[in-house]
Structure 1
């Protein structure tokens, strides 16, 4: 039996790449799309192609009237949490590719997911190579105590840091060794220029978010040790194609557990 999918953000940047990819599979079926600007239309024609038989709705609440198994969300930071909560309460599993949520949000989603016996997978980046950035960074953190993150994105990106950088920083803060850099309360001048902090005390991770034209998405982990540095960096191109395979993998796997998992790396092994 096919896994029935509701796709929120169906006409967006990633949604436009996911829709034809789902159609080419034998085990996945797109049953509804969500896109305010195209509500009431057929998704195929909304994307400039032939009719697909997939209706487009204004909201998740409307789309949930269609029987489905998984909600994939690629919408906006301001609505993704409400979308996920509605889907979990309706008995769907959830895959989140939208950035903007933090640890407290995922803790709440985890509670609701357990209450309803459903799984949720959220990843700051569904690209396999971006996932390897996280994997390699976590390995390096075992051996080098000082690390900071630079987060690159376009000038128009509304959230800072990106989901990729935030997920990485929160994971690093759980495992990194104590930093040797001067504590923030001892910094003079403009302490805010030391970046945003994730974690606490000597284990916190500093993130510096750049928002400039010509960038799409990029994350750089910089490790420093006496007389040497290690840089691990991922840069995304202008296409959404790198996110498709990881999203489809998560969609196939998310029914296999209860509660929230964060990061595509939790599925790689």
Structure 2
């Protein structure tokens, strides 16, 4: 039996290539498509996939009137929470590719998912190389006491920091708290110049043309500096494989699980 999939943000930079990958797979079936544009049209006509007659719906609730096992969300920071809760209400598991959810949002979603006996998987970044950066950064944090994170994204990204940087900060905080020689609260001048405090880690966000998505963590100790950096040069390619892995795994989860490392068997 194939896994029935609906995609919110199906005509977006990641959603379109992801829909094509679902259609080409042997174990997944695309049954729902949600987008603000092209509502009512057949998805195949919009994406250039002959024979794909799934209609594009305006809302998740409309799309999930057709039975669905997993909703994938690649939409906007201000919409994703409502989409996730609507999917859980309809009995679907969820894979979250959108950023912008706070820890409080995830806690609320976790409660609802467990009540519904459903799994919700979220990753700040579905690229395997980004997962490797997170793993290497945790290793470095165990040895080097001071670090900060910088993320770089395209100019139209409205949420900051990115989900990737939030996730990295959370993981590093689990290793230990970074040491800052001058506490951020003691900054003289403009406190905001020290970035945002995400947990115990300082994160700085850059939003400029010319970037897709990049992030780096900088470690410093004495006369040495270590920089670990990840660059995405394509808007969709790095994320499709990791997202499909999550779709295939999420039905075995209960509640919220965050971070692709957990699905790769390397969550420690």
TM over 0.5: yes
8 Å CA contact retained: 2:146, 2:180:
yes
Q: Are residue 97 (structure 1) and residue 97 (structure 2) matched?
A: yes
Label 1:21 to 1:178 Cα distance change in 2 as closer, same or farther (>3 A). Answer: closer
Listed as ranges, the matches of 1:8-19 within 5 Å are: 8-19=8-19
* Aligned-partner Cα distance in 2 for 1:128–1:194: 30
SS in 1 for 2:257: strand
Partner deviation per Cα, 1:90-130 (whole Å, 9 max, x = no partner): 11100000011111110000000000000010011111111
Q: Are residue 234 (structure 1) and residue 230 (structure 2) matched?
A: yes
* Aligned-partner Cα distance in 1 for 2:213–2:180: 29
8 Å CA contact retained: 1:142, 1:177:
no
* Aligned-partner Cα distance in 2 for 1:71–1:178: 37
Compute the RMSD of aligned alpha carbons.
1.1
Partner of 1:64: 64
The one of 240, 243, 251 aligned to 1:247: 243
* Aligned-partner Cα distance in 2 for 1:17–1:206: 34
* Aligned-partner Cα distance in 2 for 1:239–1:178: 32
* Aligned-partner Cα distance in 1 for 2:193–2:149: 13
8 Å CA contact retained: 1:173, 1:198:
no
Using structure 2 for the length normalisation, give the TM-score.
0.96
8 Å CA contact retained: 1:141, 1:177:
no
* Aligned-partner Cα distance in 2 for 1:118–1:258: 5
SS in 2 for 1:37: coil
* Aligned-partner Cα distance in 2 for 1:99–1:58: 20
* Aligned-partner Cα distance in 1 for 2:177–2:201: 10
Unaligned runs of 5+ in 1: none
Partner deviation per Cα, 1:149-176 (whole Å, 9 max, x = no partner): 0010112111111111111112222322
Q: Are residue 256 (structure 1) and residue 245 (structure 2) matched?
A: no
Number of positions where the alignment pairs a residue of Structure 1 with one of Structure 2: 265
Question: Which deviates more, 124-133 or 174-183?
Answer: 174-183
SS in 2 for 1:46: helix
Partner of 2:159: 159
8 Å CA contact retained: 1:144, 1:177:
no
Q: CA deviation at 1:79?
A: 0.6
Listed as ranges, the matches of 1:1-269 within 5 Å are: 1-199=1-199, 204-269=200-265
* Aligned-partner Cα distance in 2 for 1:91–1:124: 24
